[in-house]
Protein backbone atom coordinates (compact mmCIF):
# COMPACT_ATOMS: atom_id res chain seq x y z
CA UNK A 1 0.00 0.00 0.00
CA UNK A 2 2.91 2.31 0.47
CA UNK A 3 1.48 3.52 3.72
CA UNK A 4 2.06 2.16 7.16
CA UNK A 5 -1.03 1.83 9.26
CA UNK A 6 -0.11 2.34 12.83
CA UNK A 7 -2.21 2.33 15.92
CA UNK A 8 -5.62 3.90 15.65
CA UNK A 9 -6.59 5.10 19.01
CA UNK A 10 -8.57 7.90 20.47
CA UNK A 11 -6.48 10.25 22.49
CA UNK A 12 -8.41 13.04 24.17
CA UNK A 13 -7.46 16.52 23.13
CA UNK A 14 -4.67 17.65 25.43
CA UNK A 15 -4.65 21.04 27.04
CA UNK A 16 -0.94 21.52 26.29
CA UNK A 17 0.19 24.24 23.92
CA UNK A 18 0.26 22.88 20.39
CA UNK A 19 3.95 23.61 19.90
CA UNK A 20 4.84 21.50 22.90
CA UNK A 21 2.57 18.74 21.77
CA UNK A 22 4.08 18.64 18.28
CA UNK A 23 7.63 18.31 19.62
CA UNK A 24 6.60 15.50 21.86
CA UNK A 25 4.90 13.61 19.04
CA UNK A 26 7.73 13.97 16.56
CA UNK A 27 10.38 12.77 18.99
CA UNK A 28 8.49 9.60 19.72
CA UNK A 29 10.15 7.81 16.80
CA UNK A 30 6.99 6.17 15.53
CA UNK A 31 5.32 6.55 12.19
CA UNK A 32 2.19 7.89 13.75
CA UNK A 33 1.87 11.59 14.20
CA UNK A 34 -1.25 12.75 15.89
CA UNK A 35 -2.27 16.26 16.68
CA UNK A 36 -5.23 18.52 16.88
CA UNK A 37 -6.85 20.27 13.95
CA UNK A 38 -10.00 22.17 14.77
CA UNK A 39 -11.00 19.48 17.21
CA UNK A 40 -10.97 15.87 16.17
CA UNK A 41 -7.62 14.16 16.63
CA UNK A 42 -6.04 13.12 13.34
CA UNK A 43 -3.64 10.36 12.46
CA UNK A 44 -1.27 10.92 9.57
CA UNK A 45 -0.55 7.74 7.71
CA UNK A 46 2.87 8.22 6.23
CA UNK A 47 5.72 6.31 4.64
CA UNK A 48 9.13 6.50 6.36
CA UNK A 49 10.59 8.58 3.54
CA UNK A 50 7.73 11.01 3.13
CA UNK A 51 8.10 14.37 4.80
CA UNK A 52 5.61 14.93 7.55
CA UNK A 53 3.96 18.29 7.63
CA UNK A 54 2.39 19.02 10.94
CA UNK A 55 -0.22 21.68 10.96
CA UNK A 56 -1.84 24.05 13.31
CA UNK A 57 -5.48 24.50 14.35
CA UNK A 58 -5.82 27.32 11.88
CA UNK A 59 -5.54 24.76 9.18
CA UNK A 60 -2.58 24.35 6.80
CA UNK A 61 -3.39 20.99 5.28
CA UNK A 62 -0.55 18.50 5.06
CA UNK A 63 0.60 17.82 1.49
CA UNK A 64 1.19 14.31 0.15
CA UNK A 65 -0.12 12.75 3.29
CA UNK A 66 -3.22 10.76 3.89
CA UNK A 67 -5.08 12.32 6.78
CA UNK A 68 -7.71 10.34 8.61
CA UNK A 69 -10.26 11.31 11.16
CA UNK A 70 -10.51 8.90 14.03
CA UNK A 71 -14.07 8.09 13.26
CA UNK A 72 -14.88 5.66 16.00
CA UNK A 73 -17.14 8.20 17.64
CA UNK A 74 -18.88 9.63 14.59
CA UNK A 75 -22.55 10.23 14.98
CA UNK A 76 -25.32 7.95 13.78
CA UNK A 77 -28.44 9.96 12.94
CA UNK A 78 -30.79 7.01 12.67
CA UNK A 79 -32.98 6.78 15.74
CA UNK A 80 -31.86 10.14 17.12
CA UNK A 81 -34.31 12.89 18.02
CA UNK A 82 -33.45 16.31 16.67
CA UNK A 83 -34.96 19.62 17.75
CA UNK A 84 -34.75 22.11 14.88
CA UNK A 85 -35.57 25.67 15.93
CA UNK A 86 -37.08 27.64 13.07
CA UNK A 87 -37.98 24.48 11.20
CA UNK A 88 -40.87 25.96 9.21
CA UNK A 89 -38.93 27.61 6.38
CA UNK A 90 -35.63 27.92 4.55
CA UNK A 91 -32.67 26.01 5.94
CA UNK A 92 -34.56 24.66 8.96
CA UNK A 93 -37.29 23.15 6.78
CA UNK A 94 -34.70 21.54 4.51
CA UNK A 95 -32.85 20.20 7.56
CA UNK A 96 -36.12 18.72 8.81
CA UNK A 97 -36.54 16.84 5.51
CA UNK A 98 -32.97 15.57 5.51
CA UNK A 99 -32.90 14.51 9.17
CA UNK A 100 -36.13 12.58 8.53
CA UNK A 101 -34.58 10.98 5.45
CA UNK A 102 -31.64 9.90 7.63
CA UNK A 103 -33.96 8.07 10.03
CA UNK A 104 -34.11 10.70 12.77
CA UNK A 105 -37.22 11.88 14.61
CA UNK A 106 -37.71 15.62 14.29
CA UNK A 107 -39.30 18.26 16.48
CA UNK A 108 -39.57 21.72 14.96
CA UNK A 109 -40.36 25.13 16.36
CA UNK A 110 -41.37 28.48 14.94
CA UNK A 111 -43.46 31.47 15.98
CA UNK A 112 -46.15 31.19 13.33
CA UNK A 113 -48.73 28.46 14.00
CA UNK A 114 -50.03 28.40 10.41
CA UNK A 115 -46.53 27.65 9.10
CA UNK A 116 -46.07 24.94 11.75
CA UNK A 117 -49.38 23.36 10.72
CA UNK A 118 -48.39 23.40 7.05
CA UNK A 119 -45.10 21.59 7.73
CA UNK A 120 -46.86 19.07 9.98
CA UNK A 121 -49.31 18.40 7.16
CA UNK A 122 -46.47 17.64 4.74
CA UNK A 123 -44.45 15.61 7.29
CA UNK A 124 -46.99 14.00 9.67
CA UNK A 125 -44.31 12.20 11.72
CA UNK A 126 -42.80 15.42 13.05
CA UNK A 127 -43.80 17.22 16.21
CA UNK A 128 -44.40 20.94 15.71
CA UNK A 129 -44.29 23.22 18.73
CA UNK A 130 -45.02 26.92 18.64
CA UNK A 131 -42.18 28.61 20.48
CA UNK A 132 -40.25 31.85 20.18
CA UNK A 133 -36.56 31.34 21.02
CA UNK A 134 -36.39 34.90 22.31
CA UNK A 135 -39.10 34.30 24.90
CA UNK A 136 -38.00 32.78 28.23
CA UNK A 137 -41.44 31.32 29.08
CA UNK A 138 -41.75 29.78 25.60
CA UNK A 139 -38.30 28.24 25.96
CA UNK A 140 -39.12 26.68 29.34
CA UNK A 141 -42.42 25.37 28.02
CA UNK A 142 -40.62 23.94 24.97
CA UNK A 143 -38.16 22.17 27.25
CA UNK A 144 -40.98 20.66 29.33
CA UNK A 145 -42.86 19.48 26.23
CA UNK A 146 -39.73 17.98 24.69
CA UNK A 147 -38.86 16.24 27.95
CA UNK A 148 -42.37 14.75 28.11
CA UNK A 149 -41.86 13.41 24.58
CA UNK A 150 -38.72 11.55 25.66
CA UNK A 151 -36.07 14.23 25.14
CA UNK A 152 -33.66 14.98 22.32
CA UNK A 153 -30.18 13.95 21.22
CA UNK A 154 -29.44 16.89 18.92
CA UNK A 155 -30.30 20.53 19.44
CA UNK A 156 -30.04 22.41 16.15
CA UNK A 157 -30.12 26.13 16.83
CA UNK A 158 -31.21 27.33 13.43
CA UNK A 159 -33.83 30.04 14.07
CA UNK A 160 -32.48 33.42 13.06
CA UNK A 161 -33.47 36.81 11.73
CA UNK A 162 -31.79 39.56 9.76
CA UNK A 163 -33.19 43.07 9.51
CA UNK A 164 -32.98 45.48 6.59
CA UNK A 165 -30.27 48.00 5.76
CA UNK A 166 -29.11 50.20 8.61
CA UNK A 167 -26.68 53.07 8.41
CA UNK A 168 -25.20 53.24 11.88
CA UNK A 169 -23.70 56.63 11.01
CA UNK A 170 -27.13 58.27 11.04
CA UNK A 171 -28.70 58.51 14.48
CA UNK A 172 -31.84 56.41 14.64
CA UNK A 173 -33.59 54.66 17.51
CA UNK A 174 -34.03 51.69 15.22
CA UNK A 175 -30.35 50.78 15.63
CA UNK A 176 -30.90 49.64 19.18
CA UNK A 177 -34.27 48.02 18.44
CA UNK A 178 -32.88 46.00 15.53
CA UNK A 179 -29.71 45.02 17.36
CA UNK A 180 -31.75 43.84 20.35
CA UNK A 181 -34.20 41.91 18.16
CA UNK A 182 -31.37 40.14 16.30
CA UNK A 183 -29.31 39.49 19.41
CA UNK A 184 -32.30 38.15 21.36
CA UNK A 185 -32.99 35.57 18.65
CA UNK A 186 -29.64 34.86 16.98
CA UNK A 187 -27.46 34.90 20.08
CA UNK A 188 -29.18 35.06 23.48
CA UNK A 189 -31.96 32.68 22.41
CA UNK A 190 -29.33 30.06 21.59
CA UNK A 191 -27.59 30.47 24.93
CA UNK A 192 -30.90 30.11 26.73
CA UNK A 193 -31.87 26.92 24.89
CA UNK A 194 -28.42 25.36 25.21
CA UNK A 195 -28.52 26.01 28.93
CA UNK A 196 -32.00 24.51 29.31
CA UNK A 197 -31.15 21.39 27.33
CA UNK A 198 -27.53 20.91 28.43
CA UNK A 199 -28.02 18.31 31.15
CA UNK A 200 -30.53 16.40 29.01
CA UNK A 201 -28.01 16.25 26.18
CA UNK A 202 -25.22 15.17 28.53
CA UNK A 203 -27.37 12.28 29.72
CA UNK A 204 -27.69 10.84 26.19
CA UNK A 205 -25.34 8.24 24.77
CA UNK A 206 -24.48 10.43 21.78
CA UNK A 207 -25.50 14.06 21.60
CA UNK A 208 -24.77 17.25 19.73
CA UNK A 209 -25.48 20.94 19.59
CA UNK A 210 -25.43 22.66 16.21
CA UNK A 211 -25.05 26.42 16.28
CA UNK A 212 -25.57 28.52 13.16
CA UNK A 213 -23.14 31.28 12.34
CA UNK A 214 -22.53 32.78 8.88
CA UNK A 215 -19.82 33.91 6.50
CA UNK A 216 -20.75 37.32 7.94
CA UNK A 217 -19.21 36.23 11.23
CA UNK A 218 -15.79 36.72 9.54
CA UNK A 219 -16.50 39.94 7.65
CA UNK A 220 -19.47 42.22 8.41
CA UNK A 221 -21.96 43.06 5.69
CA UNK A 222 -22.35 46.84 5.86
CA UNK A 223 -26.06 46.47 5.05
CA UNK A 224 -26.60 44.19 8.05
CA UNK A 225 -24.08 45.29 10.67
CA UNK A 226 -25.88 44.21 13.81
CA UNK A 227 -26.85 40.86 12.26
CA UNK A 228 -23.18 40.29 11.38
CA UNK A 229 -22.23 41.16 14.96
CA UNK A 230 -24.75 38.63 16.32
CA UNK A 231 -23.15 35.92 14.18
CA UNK A 232 -19.61 36.88 15.22
CA UNK A 233 -20.77 36.63 18.83
CA UNK A 234 -22.25 33.21 18.10
CA UNK A 235 -18.94 32.04 16.59
CA UNK A 236 -16.95 33.00 19.68
CA UNK A 237 -19.59 31.55 21.99
CA UNK A 238 -19.56 28.28 20.03
CA UNK A 239 -15.77 27.92 20.24
CA UNK A 240 -15.88 28.50 24.00
CA UNK A 241 -18.82 26.12 24.50
CA UNK A 242 -16.96 23.37 22.62
CA UNK A 243 -13.85 23.96 24.67
CA UNK A 244 -15.75 23.90 27.96
CA UNK A 245 -17.46 20.64 27.10
CA UNK A 246 -14.10 19.12 26.12
CA UNK A 247 -12.60 20.23 29.44
CA UNK A 248 -15.46 18.40 31.17
CA UNK A 249 -14.81 15.32 28.98
CA UNK A 250 -18.42 15.59 27.88
CA UNK A 251 -19.68 13.49 25.00
CA UNK A 252 -21.82 16.39 23.73
CA UNK A 253 -20.36 17.50 20.41
CA UNK A 254 -20.60 21.11 19.33
CA UNK A 255 -20.90 21.80 15.61
CA UNK A 256 -20.78 25.20 13.98
CA UNK A 257 -22.58 25.55 10.66
CA UNK A 258 -21.21 28.55 8.78
CA UNK A 259 -23.37 29.03 5.68
CA UNK A 260 -22.61 31.26 2.71
CA UNK A 261 -25.56 33.08 1.13
CA UNK A 262 -28.42 30.59 0.89
CA UNK A 263 -31.57 31.10 -1.18
CA UNK A 264 -34.25 31.60 1.47
CA UNK A 265 -36.69 34.36 2.35
CA UNK A 266 -33.94 35.91 4.49
CA UNK A 267 -31.79 36.74 1.47
CA UNK A 268 -34.50 37.57 -1.10
CA UNK A 269 -33.58 41.26 -1.13
CA UNK A 270 -29.83 40.77 -1.43
CA UNK A 271 -27.86 40.54 -4.64
CA UNK A 272 -26.09 37.27 -4.16
CA UNK A 273 -24.64 34.01 -5.39
CA UNK A 274 -26.91 31.93 -3.26
CA UNK A 275 -26.64 28.18 -2.90
CA UNK A 276 -29.73 26.09 -2.27
CA UNK A 277 -30.77 25.07 1.24
CA UNK A 278 -30.46 21.48 -0.01
CA UNK A 279 -26.77 21.90 -0.81
CA UNK A 280 -26.11 23.55 2.53
CA UNK A 281 -27.89 20.86 4.52
CA UNK A 282 -26.12 18.11 2.53
CA UNK A 283 -22.87 19.62 3.80
CA UNK A 284 -24.22 19.86 7.34
CA UNK A 285 -25.25 16.20 7.44
CA UNK A 286 -21.96 15.09 5.86
CA UNK A 287 -20.07 17.21 8.41
CA UNK A 288 -21.96 15.72 11.34
CA UNK A 289 -21.29 12.22 10.06
CA UNK A 290 -17.54 12.80 9.90
CA UNK A 291 -17.04 14.85 13.06
CA UNK A 292 -16.22 18.00 11.15
CA UNK A 293 -17.00 20.38 13.95
CA UNK A 294 -16.64 23.60 11.98
CA UNK A 295 -18.68 23.26 8.81
CA UNK A 296 -17.88 26.15 6.48
CA UNK A 297 -19.75 25.74 3.23
CA UNK A 298 -18.89 27.17 -0.20
CA UNK A 299 -18.03 30.87 -0.12
CA UNK A 300 -17.90 30.78 3.65
CA UNK A 301 -14.59 28.88 3.36
CA UNK A 302 -13.25 31.46 0.93
CA UNK A 303 -14.31 34.45 3.02
CA UNK A 304 -12.84 32.82 6.11
CA UNK A 305 -9.43 32.37 4.45
CA UNK A 306 -9.51 35.84 2.86
CA UNK A 307 -10.46 37.49 6.13
CA UNK A 308 -7.29 36.08 7.68
CA UNK A 309 -4.94 36.69 4.77
CA UNK A 310 -6.25 39.95 3.35
CA UNK A 311 -8.92 41.49 5.59
CA UNK A 312 -9.39 44.71 3.60
CA UNK A 313 -9.77 42.81 0.35
CA UNK A 314 -12.24 40.45 2.02
CA UNK A 315 -14.27 43.43 3.29
CA UNK A 316 -14.41 44.91 -0.21
CA UNK A 317 -15.59 41.61 -1.70
CA UNK A 318 -18.41 41.24 0.82
CA UNK A 319 -19.36 44.92 0.50
CA UNK A 320 -19.36 45.90 -3.16
CA UNK A 321 -19.62 49.57 -4.10
CA UNK A 322 -23.30 49.14 -4.97
CA UNK A 323 -24.13 48.76 -1.28
CA UNK A 324 -23.28 52.41 -0.74
CA UNK A 325 -26.42 53.51 -2.63
CA UNK A 326 -28.59 51.67 -0.12
CA UNK A 327 -26.86 53.33 2.81
CA UNK A 328 -27.29 56.95 1.80
N1 LIG B 1 -30.09 32.40 4.27
C2 LIG B 1 -28.82 32.69 4.37
O3 LIG B 1 -28.17 33.16 3.40
C4 LIG B 1 -28.06 32.48 5.65
C5 LIG B 1 -26.67 32.66 5.64
C6 LIG B 1 -25.97 32.48 6.81
C7 LIG B 1 -26.63 32.08 7.97
N8 LIG B 1 -27.98 31.91 7.95
C9 LIG B 1 -28.64 31.53 9.19
O10 LIG B 1 -29.35 30.32 8.97
C11 LIG B 1 -30.50 30.28 9.85
C12 LIG B 1 -31.75 30.00 9.03
O13 LIG B 1 -31.91 31.06 8.09
P14 LIG B 1 -32.94 30.97 6.87
O15 LIG B 1 -32.28 31.68 5.76
O16 LIG B 1 -33.41 29.58 6.69
O17 LIG B 1 -34.11 31.91 7.41
P18 LIG B 1 -35.67 31.92 7.03
O19 LIG B 1 -35.92 31.30 5.72
O20 LIG B 1 -36.11 33.32 7.27
O21 LIG B 1 -36.30 30.96 8.15
C22 LIG B 1 -36.17 31.30 9.49
C23 LIG B 1 -36.91 30.29 10.35
O24 LIG B 1 -36.69 30.66 11.72
C25 LIG B 1 -37.95 30.87 12.35
N26 LIG B 1 -37.78 31.88 13.37
C27 LIG B 1 -37.40 33.16 13.22
N28 LIG B 1 -37.36 33.77 14.40
C29 LIG B 1 -37.72 32.86 15.32
C30 LIG B 1 -37.88 32.88 16.72
N31 LIG B 1 -37.69 34.00 17.42
N32 LIG B 1 -38.24 31.75 17.36
C33 LIG B 1 -38.44 30.61 16.66
N34 LIG B 1 -38.33 30.53 15.35
C35 LIG B 1 -37.98 31.64 14.67
C36 LIG B 1 -38.91 31.26 11.20
O37 LIG B 1 -40.27 31.01 11.50
P38 LIG B 1 -41.22 32.13 12.18
O39 LIG B 1 -40.91 33.43 11.51
O40 LIG B 1 -42.59 31.63 11.96
O41 LIG B 1 -40.85 32.14 13.62
C42 LIG B 1 -38.40 30.31 10.12
O43 LIG B 1 -38.91 29.02 10.35
C44 LIG B 1 -30.50 31.62 10.57
O45 LIG B 1 -29.87 31.47 11.83
C46 LIG B 1 -29.68 32.51 9.68
O47 LIG B 1 -29.12 33.59 10.38
C48 LIG B 1 -28.71 32.10 6.81
Which residue puts its alpha carbon closest to atom 32 of ligand 1?
Answer: 132
Q: How many CB atoms lie within 10 A of CB 231?
A: 26
75-90 pLDDT, tens digit each:
999 999 999 999 999 9
Q: How far apart are CA 166 and CA 150, in angstroms?
A: 43
pTM of the predicted protein model: 0.82
- By most ligand atoms within 8 Å of CB, the mutation choice from 112, 134, 159, 192 for ligand 1 is 159
How far does residue 122's CA lie from ligand 1's centre (Å)?
19
Q: Could you tell me if 159 and 185 are in contact, meaning their C-beta atoms sit under 8 angstroms apart?
A: yes
Task: Write phi, then psi, for 83 (nearest 5 degrees).
Answer: -100, 120
Which residue ranges of the chain lie beneath pLDDT 70? Answer: 1-72, 271
User: For the chain, how many residues are written?
Assistant: 328
- The predicted pLDDT at position 22 comes to 38
Atom of ligand 1 nearest to the CA of 115: 40
- The predicted pLDDT at position 164 comes to 80
Q: What percent of the chain has pLDDT over 90?
A: 72
How far does residue 267's CA lie from ligand 1's centre (Å)?
10
199-220 pLDDT, tens digit each:
999 999 999 999 999 999 999 9
Q: DSSP readout, 34-91?
A: EEESSSSEEEEE--TTSPP----TT-PPPSS-EEEE-GGGPPP-TT-EEEETTTTSHH
Q: Could you tell me if 187 and 291 are in contact, meaning their C-beta atoms sit under 8 angstroms apart?
A: no
- The predicted pLDDT at position 271 comes to 64
Tell me the three state secondary structure of residue 131: coil
- By most ligand atoms within 8 Å of CB, the mutation choice from 83, 88, 91, 279 for ligand 1 is 91
CB of 91 within 6 A of ligand 1: the answer is yes
**Crossing angle of helices 311-318/299-309, nearest 10°?**
140
Per-domain residue ranges of the chain: 18-73, 81-327
CB of 125 within 6 A of ligand 1: the answer is no
Q: Which CATH superfamily is domain 81-327 in?
A: NAD(P)-binding Rossmann-like Domain (3.40.50.720)
Give residues with Cβ within 8 angstroms of 159, minimum separation 6: 85, 86, 92, 109, 110, 133, 185, 189
Atom of ligand 1 nearest to the CA of 132: 32
Helices (H), 205-320: 225-247, 277-289, 299-309, 311-318
Amino acid sequence: MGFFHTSFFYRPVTRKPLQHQMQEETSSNTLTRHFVLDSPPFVLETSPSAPVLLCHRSGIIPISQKVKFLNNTTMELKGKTVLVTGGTAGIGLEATKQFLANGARVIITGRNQAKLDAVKKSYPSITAIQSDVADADDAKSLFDQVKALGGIDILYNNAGVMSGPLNLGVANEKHFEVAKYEMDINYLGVIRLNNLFMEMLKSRKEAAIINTTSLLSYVPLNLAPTYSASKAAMRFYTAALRDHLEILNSKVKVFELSPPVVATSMTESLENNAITPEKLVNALIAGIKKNQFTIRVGLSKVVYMLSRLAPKFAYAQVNPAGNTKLLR
